[in-house]
Structure formats: C-alpha cells, structure tokens
Structure 1
C-alpha cells in the first residue's frame, strides 16, 4: 500500500484512487456522481472547519478510496467537542439541502433537485448509528455526556478510521 503526503494531506494508494475517480467521472454522463461527490466533500469540509475552530490547526487528513479520515492522535477532545465535530458534517448537508429547497421553490431544475437529494441523503446516511459513521460517534459521545451528568464519569473509546467518512485515529 503506497502513501503520498502533501502537507497535511495523505493519499493512500493515489494511483488507484485517481484511476477509479477518473473512470467513474468519465462514465458519469448525467453529472449526478459529481453532485454526490460534491455533497460528500462539503460534508467532510464541515468536519474540518469545526476541527480547525476547536483546535486552531488543521488535522492530518487521509484521503482513501472510501473517503476522508482525520488523524487526531494525541488530541484531547472532550465528549462535547467530539459530538459537535461529528454533527458538523450532517449539519452542513442539511443546511445546504434547506437552502436548495428554498431555491428550488423559485426555480426547479434536475441538477438542483439532484444536489438537494445528494445533500439530504448524505446527511441522513451519516446519521446511521453504525461505526465509523457520524451517528455512531454522536451516540457514543451523547452516552458519555449522559454518564458525566447522571452517572459515573467515564471516557468513551476512540473511533478508528476504517472505511472513510469522518473518523478519528
């Protein structure tokens, strides 16, 4: 497995990644895949923006065939910070879906509907409580906050970056 590092970006298997993206985009005559990828990238940028606000520096971001992974080893994040960080991606998607819904009420286009749907589906999918998706991280963080407030104080286990949406290593 090869890795190429460019500043804070680490590309895992860059030749395979670029080749797969090229082929997918080449055969995407409708442009719907591009809109889905845009929604996914905007989702991840939401996580990165909140991380930068919280920690005041960029994390190391690994780009793989399955998505992005933020490496935050050594960072001390509270359960509340992790909860906000996990919720940032779906929040961006829902915000964009809301803006596009208002826009579609004035002018309806196929691409506009596709962008609205891509954001809505990306946000909803990432709320599933399945690791490593945001919903699982939000559930763990919410449980830790609940334990801090009403039960004994324990730290949640860290999440390993496995398949590529927002993850922490």
Structure 2
C-alpha cells in the first residue's frame, strides 16, 4: 500500500520560506528533489519493485522501495543511481541550452541539479552513494559488516560536511544548510548503529518471506565451513541479497554435507546464537533417527 508522509517540520520550513520571501527558491528545490525520487521509483518498476512510502522531510525526500535490499547489488545500484543521473542530466541540458537566459530561477534550477546530483553520490549513509556501497559490501561480506564499514566511512564524510558548513556560514552568515544536513545525517547514522541488531533480525524475517514467495535462488552461492563454525559467525556473514548454501566437510569421512541458509537461520532463531554447526548437525541427525 502506497502512502505519502509529511514530517511536521516540513510545514515549518514552508512558513520560514514564506517569511524570508524565499518561496520561489524553496519550490524549485522541492521540484528537483521530487523528480530525483520519482526516477528511483520509475526505474524500480522496471525490476517489478514498488514504492510503499514516500517520505517528505525538512532536508529532502525519500522513496522506500519494497524488497530493494533483496535484489542483486547491480540492480540496487541501477535503481539508486537513477536519481543522481536525472539531476546531472537536467544540469547538462540546462547548461547547454538555457544558461544564457537571464533569469535567477533558471540559474538556480541548473546549479541545484548539479549540487544535488553530486551530493547524493557521496559515500555517506543513507545518501544514494552510501547505499550503493552498502549494497555491494553487504553482498560479499554480510549486512553487519557492510553497515559497520559504511557507518565508519560516513563519519568522515559527515565531519567534512560540518567543516564546509562552518566555512559556508563565514561567507554566507544566514545560510546553514550544510550544517543542518550534516546534523541530520549524523542523527540517522547514530540511530542506524543503535538499531543494527534489530535491523538484521528484521532483514532475516523479511528475507524468509520474500524467498518463500518468489522462490528466487539465482543469487545462491556456496560457502565452505567447518564443524566448529559458530552461529555468531554465520549471522555476521548473513547477506540479504545473497542466498548461501553452506558446504560442511566432515574431517574423518571426507563427506561433504549441504546446509541451506534458511534452515540454519531458523535453528539459530529458535535456539540462540550459542553453539556451532556441529551442534546443528547433531540435532538434525537425532531428529532424522526419530
């Protein structure tokens, strides 16, 4: 079910824009960001994905694409980069054909497209660039590792934004846009760090439903593990965009046993993270005999 959500502070931004007589500039930025998000949605439809929620917040907008995290990193990248590409395309067209027109709103439209397009490609979560990197790292190293690395990278990016934000205030005393955006990004990153365990649990449950519904195993990969591999290690390697088939080699018989990811994950969710693959196989063997 699709819904549009307005943050209460967005209304405050409109009131401030009217009070400062900047409603024209505010409207242009709103249109540019709306087109940016619209292209995320249009491209996602090409991959048979749907937008469930369109959030309008004081510092921008965000389209929530259902099941995006379960797609291959390439599909994720194509969907996420669609927004910046349309911004840079409009900047290119505007610079080529309309820059000579003496109109401040046209010039703002052209330059704002360039700035928004480049800004969204920065490797900062949850900007498009940060989410693209997160998708690729998570696919090969697991969601926990991917989030840890992208949050670390984001800290440096946010610090750089804050430095530029201070410089911006020095030259433009009434313009603190970069600082506001940097503080919002810092808030989102801290919130994401605190909720990382919960987010992983939610991803696991949603992936089970998605795989059961779609029966898609084209992204399956085989990973060799031993009997002493801990359940904690299994969870650390969990990737929402990849289905893993574990291959266990028994040291004495030299036989290779195959374990499906969701079977092992189900066991871990029911019995806890304490234990190893050996414990899982022993339980399965006993149940098989019974």
| TM-score, reference length from structure 2 | 0.44
Alignment of 1:110-129 (within 5 A): 110-129=104-123
Q: Would the aligned equivalents of 2:121 and 2:128 in 1 still touch at CA under 8 Å?
A: yes
Residue in structure 2 matching 1:55, options 43, 48, 51 = 48
3-state secondary structure, aligned to 1:116: helix
Query: Closer, same or farther in 2 for the Cα pair 1:56/1:138, shift >3 Å?
Result: closer
Q: Distance in 2 between matches of 1:46 and 1:68?
A: 12
Larger relative contact order (C-alpha < 8 A, sep ≥ 6)?
1
Shift of 1:49: 1.2
For the aligned residue pairs, the C-alpha RMSD in angstroms reads: 3.2
Pick the structure with more helix per residue: 2
Structure 2: tracts of 5 or more residues without a match: 151-183, 189-202, 204-290
Q: Deviations over 1:95-116 (max 9, x none)?
A: 1111111222553432221110
Q: Residues of 1 paired with 2:6 and 2:102: CA distance?
A: 39
Question: 2:222 maps to which residue?
Answer: none
Q: Secondary structure at the match of 2:86?
A: helix
Unaligned runs of 5+ in 1: 1-6, 146-152
Q: Secondary structure at the match of 2:47?
A: helix
Q: Please state whether the residue corresponding to 1:90 is helix, strand or coil.
A: helix
TM-score, with length taken from structure 1 = 0.70
Residues 40 and 73 (structure 1 numbering): CA distance in 2 closer, same or farther, change over 3 Å? closer
Following TM superposition, by how much is the alpha carbon of 1:125 offset from its aligned partner in structure 2, in angstroms? 0.8
Aligned mate of 1:31, from 21, 24, 30: 24
- The answer for the alignment partner of 2:13 in structure 1 is 20
Structure 1's 105 and 10: CA in aligned 2 closer, same or farther, altered over 3 A? closer
Aligned structure 1 segments of 4 or more residues deviating by more than 6 angstroms: none
Aligned length: 150
Distance 2:57 2:22 in 1: 24
